[in-house]
Structure 1
């Protein structure tokens, strides 16, 4: 098997690019699969790890809207969700764009997950979270370059 080509985050576009990805995405919590799809989108933006959006149809847990909402200059207003995992509520680690901007209209009906408290996988590789809890990118071994949120991008 050939190694995957490296993806340099500094060559990702701005404004961000939304495209369908054939990658196999899974999210597991305590070995239980809570999301499983090959029908996802990724958003690529300069200096960011890719952000993946999974179709609601491929999520096996109940999502409940929370009061949190944030605004993205590119995608519009985000709606956040809570879930119950083993009797504990996990809030605001999943979001969607219910009424995305025209350029990102394909995100309607898709949700994105921060990495954690569950485990996220891209093509079988367990991902790491993009540095800094503000960003929600999924970092894989194929990425290179300075990723926003890392110590190289913080003020000293």
Structure 2
């Protein structure tokens, strides 16, 4: 993507975390509103145990994740390469582009009984400078893999594109739900 297209995409966002929109759920004590997250995103270390499973096979475990917090989205958790069983991964031809992070590459994951789970993980091998802290770190789609944070099963973000992890500490509404395309 050329610099003008990137700038145009960055400027297209209506909400940037400075003010919670009127349709946002007000968080209770101990909760976070995804509408308070910034854009461009923040990269926040998380020391809770994070686990990812393909079927019954654990493919990742760490207490050194990074949550990427972006306005309107449940966080995506990024895991360090050494926390992921990369023997169970196969590179995919799929690529996508984020105006904040750069080009993502995807991986199929070998599941126990399910065979290969296509495009279940992604990473940014050469991210934009602001996202360099997650260079080479893996993120997982909770719609395709079973993801757990501190013992709590994660719920998947709606829609097929986004990979946010919804836990009980979050309130939305969340990007990806019906009618959220303009957010």
Residue equivalent to 1:81:
107
Residue equivalent to 1:110:
137
For residues 104 and 181 of structure 2, the distance between their equivalents in structure 1, rounded to whole angstroms, comes to 25
Structure 2: 5+ residue runs without aligned partners? 1-27
Greater mean deviation of Cα atoms: 84-93 or 115-124? 84-93
Greater mean deviation of Cα atoms: 90-99 or 56-65? 56-65
Calculate the aligned-residue CA RMSD, in Å: 1.9
Q: Is the 8 A contact 1:17 1:43 kept in 2?
A: yes
Q: Indicate the structure (1 or 2) with the bigger Cα radius of gyration.
A: 2
Equivalent residue for 1:130, pick from 132, 137, 157: 157
Q: Is the 8 A contact 1:69 1:77 kept in 2?
A: yes
For residues 148 and 37 of structure 2, the distance between their equivalents in structure 1, rounded to whole angstroms, comes to 21
For residues 103 and 131 of structure 1, the distance between their equivalents in structure 2, rounded to whole angstroms, comes to 26
Structure 1: 5+ residue runs without aligned partners? none
Report the CA distance between 1:35 and its aligned residue.
Answer: 0.8
Partner SS for 2:82: helix
Report the CA distance between 1:85 and its aligned residue.
Answer: 1.5
For residues 154 and 106 of structure 1, the distance between their equivalents in structure 2, rounded to whole angstroms, comes to 28
- Higher-strand-fraction structure: 1
For residues 29 and 167 of structure 2, the distance between their equivalents in structure 1, rounded to whole angstroms, comes to 11
Partner SS for 1:151: coil
For residues 180 and 173 of structure 2, the distance between their equivalents in structure 1, rounded to whole angstroms, comes to 8
Report the CA distance between 1:15 and its aligned residue.
Answer: 1.1
Residue equivalent to 1:37:
62
Equivalent residue for 2:123, pick from 82, 91, 96: 96
Give the structure-1-normalised TM-score: 0.90
Give the structure-2-normalised TM-score: 0.77
Matches within 5 A, 1:6-25: 6-25=31-50
For residues 130 and 181 of structure 2, the distance between their equivalents in structure 1, rounded to whole angstroms, comes to 30
